[in-house]
Amino acid sequence: DTAVSQTPKYLVTQMGNDKSIKCEQNLGHDTMYWYKQDSKKFLKIMFSYNNKELIINETVPNRFSPKSPDKAHLNLHINSLELGDSAVYFCASSQVTSRPGELFFGEGSRLTVL
Amino acid sequence: QKEVEQDPGPLSVPEGAIVSLNCTYSNSAFQYFMWYRQYSRKGPELLMYTYSSGNKEDGRFTAQVDKSSKYISLFIRDSQPSDSATYLCAMSYSGAGSYQLTFGKGTKLSVIP
């Protein structure tokens, strides 16, 4: 029973298209995140939601729009995809009141823009 | 200067060796220090968690934090091929900062049988 699950795992698409990645966690956590990992493995936060409220919104193009319909779900929609958007996108969750910084990651969604 | 510096390697060691992985940081507000392990094509998973300065041991793994030097280390004793992965250091601080985890770039480790 996967704790943090993301779909799809692999996504290959053309420049200019719009795509979405979905994430669900069954850990009962109150905070969810989107991270981007580039080709050099650097993991950088994009967004964070706590109890459906956006609390971190890093310098990310506004083509990226997160949406949290409830505490257990956080989706990422990307408009007008560009070559530079190719990366692995990780969803994560945490219970901030327990151990700060302890995140549970999904397996990642590997996006390739052609 | 980046907030967290980590030598990306790659690091290749023979099975049974002692491995030392390190990170330095510049933000003295960091209080929580972590090591995440990431296998190929998988998400990072928490390996070690330390609050403030000191050592923590868990089996073959030891995490050290020296806040005065702004330096953290992960030691792996009797390294195994199954330890082959990318190791990412990560840091956080309390309050609003607890939502903001800062990662190092990761060190790729290969343990050769």
B25, B91 Cβ separation under 8 angstroms: yes
The minimal CB distance from A103 to the residues B94, B101, B106 is found for B101
The minimal CB distance from B99 to the residues A43, A48, A99 is found for A48
For the purposes of burial, counting CB atoms within 10 Å of the CB of A80, is it exposed (0-12), middle (13-18) or buried (19 or more)? exposed
Along the 114 residues of chain A, how does pLDDT read in single tens digits? 679 999 999 999 999 999 999 999 999 999 999 999 988 888 999 999 988 888 878 888 999 999 999 999 999 999 999 999 999 999 999 987 778 888 999 999 999 999
The minimal CB distance from B49 to the residues A41, A42, A99 is found for A99
CB contact (8 A) between residue B32 and residue A43: no
In a mutagenesis test of the A interface, which of B99, B100, B107, B108 is the best target, namely the one with the most A β-carbons within 10 Å? B99
* Nearest residue of chain B to residue A5 (CA atoms): B43
Q: Tokens 């907030």 belong to which residue?
A: B3
On the question of a cis peptide bond just before residue B14, with omega within 30 degrees of 0, the verdict is no
DSSP string, B45-106: EEEEEEESSEEEEETTEEEEEETTTTEEEEEESS--GGG-EEEEEEEE-SGGGGG--EE---
Q: A100 and chain B: CB distance < 8 Å anywhere?
A: yes
